[in-house]
Amino acid sequence: MEKKGLKLEQQLCFEVYKASSNFTKMYSRVLGPFQLTFPQYLVLLVLWEEDHLLMKEIGDRLGFGTGTLNPIINRMIAQGRLLKEQSTEDKRAWVISLTEKAKKEHEPISQAVYEKLISCNFLDVNALTLMKNLKDLNAFFEEMDL
Amino acid sequence: MEKKGLKLEQQLCFEVYKASSNFTKMYSRVLGPFQLTFPQYLVLLVLWEEDHLLMKEIGDRLGFGTGTLNPIINRMIAQGRLLKEQSTEDKRAWVISLTEKAKKEHEPISQAVYEKLISCNFLDVNALTLMKNLKDLNAFFEEMDL
DNA sequence: GTAAATTAAATCGTGGGCGATGTAAAATAA
DNA sequence: TTATTTTACATCGCCCACGATTTAATTTAC
């Protein structure tokens, strides 16, 4: 039987893996001045779209488990960006809200990210094709339940 | 001025990020029975292609810095998969080699990964397009020096 | 209404990633 | 040759990821 040795350069997983770490590094440079990490920025993105969400709702949208999300939220509370209040209807659930500080940051942070993307020509046609293929891929992953 | 609020669903970085963690999870399930993580598997992929590489050479191929690679290599040495020997020509450099155990694992591990990919129809045309776009993207990242 | 199952969060342990710093050896410059 | 710079690797601290377990509240079943 021939060798089943898949070469590194042929592996989709590796290209995706590298692309992800490349993105994380790029975003880190943009977000660093705001004392913000990429996952923390994702949490802000979610809450800027809709404030006052439960931990679970944020986790669902980002695909974060509680073991990942909880420490992130705690750090962002310590940063003065988030508030956590127990839900009155369901005492198990906690509502996460943006502070005024985090609301005011919406514009400048989005602007900084936007300018970086522009300066990289990231908003071109190629990115759209990639986007579509990746959405298909991720939908596929969710279907097959890994 | 209008809001620069980029929506979560529109962000390429997020799709790439999710795809990467989806891949990592899928591979973890395949590699788990071998007591192997995804980054450790990447190191094996490199060494199965070419044995007796320096730390630096492995790091270059995978895009790992020493702070990432060193602990991984140490764990794989502890697992009995790798050997580390000081180079005779350059005493700063260390040669990483596969043990017999790691060589014997090449076939079964590759087989397990291959079968998983087959069962997912991952080797279809769509993946090839995605692959090309991602390679372009990663080449772009390397050019622009982040 | 009580017991059992489910759910929302918190916690823990292991293993990445990565920037920054440290150390020693090798290469280069003077 | 001696001094400077560069290079290969090690270490550290911080922050994810994630599976597994725990706790408490809610829901469902009986």
Digits of tens for pLDDT over chain B (146 positions)? 445 567 656 789 999 999 999 999 999 999 999 999 999 999 999 999 999 999 999 999 999 999 999 999 999 999 999 999 999 999 999 999 999 999 999 999 999 999 998 888 776 667 888 889 999 999 989 887 64
d(CA A24, CA A21): 5
Nearest nucleotide to the CA of B74, by C1', is D10
Cβ-nearest to A144 among B45, B120, B134: B120
CATH architecture of A26-144: Orthogonal Bundle (1.10)
DSSP B4-48: ----GGG-HHHHHHHHHHHHHHHHHHHHGGGT--HHHHHHHHHHH
**Is nucleic acid strand C under 7 Å from B32's C-beta?**
no
Taking the CA of residue A131 and the nearest CA in chain B, the distance in Å comes to 6
Mean pLDDT of A119-146: 81
**What is the C-alpha R_g of chain B?**
18
Nearest CA in chain B to A144: B120
Chain center to CA of A84? 20
Question: How many CB atoms are located within 10 Å of the residue B109 CB?
Answer: 21
- Interface size, chain A vs chain B, as Cβ–Cβ contacts under 8 Å: 154
Q: What is the pLDDT of residue A40?
A: 98
Asked if B31 and B37 touch (Cβ cutoff 8 Å), the reply is yes
Cβ-nearest to B15 among A113, A131, A146: A131
Amino acid of residue B56: K
Q: What is the pLDDT of residue A146?
A: 47
Half-sphere exposure (Cβ direction) of B88: Cα atoms closer than 13 Å:
0
Position with higher pLDDT, A73 vs A118: A73
Q: What is the pLDDT of residue A145?
A: 65
The residues, ordered by sequence, that sit 6+ positions from A33 with a Cβ below 8 Å of its Cβ are A112
Four-point Cα dihedral B104, B106, B110, B111, nearest 10: -20
**Is nucleic acid strand C under 7 Å from B91's C-beta?**
yes
Question: Tokens at residue B35, please?
Answer: 């007591």
Q: Which residues of A touch B20 (CB under 8 A)?
A: 16-17, 19-21
User: Which SS3 state, helix, strand or coil, does residue A66 take?
Assistant: helix
d(CA A19, CA A24): 9
d(CA B82, CA B102): 7
DSSP secondary structure letter of residue A50? S
d(CA A96, CA A123): 32
Is it the case that residue A2 has pLDDT exceeding 60? Answer: no
Cβ-nearest to A126 among B19, B46, B136: B136
CATH architecture of B34-144: Orthogonal Bundle (1.10)
Nearest nucleotide to the CA of A88, by C1', is D25
- Give the model confidence (pLDDT) of A37-77 as tens digits: 999 999 999 999 999 999 999 999 999 999 999 999 999 99
Tokens 């990231």 -> residue: A122
CA angle A82, B4, A131 (to 5 degrees): 95
Nearest nucleotide to the CA of A18, by C1', is C17
Asked if A14 and A8 touch (Cβ cutoff 8 Å), the reply is yes
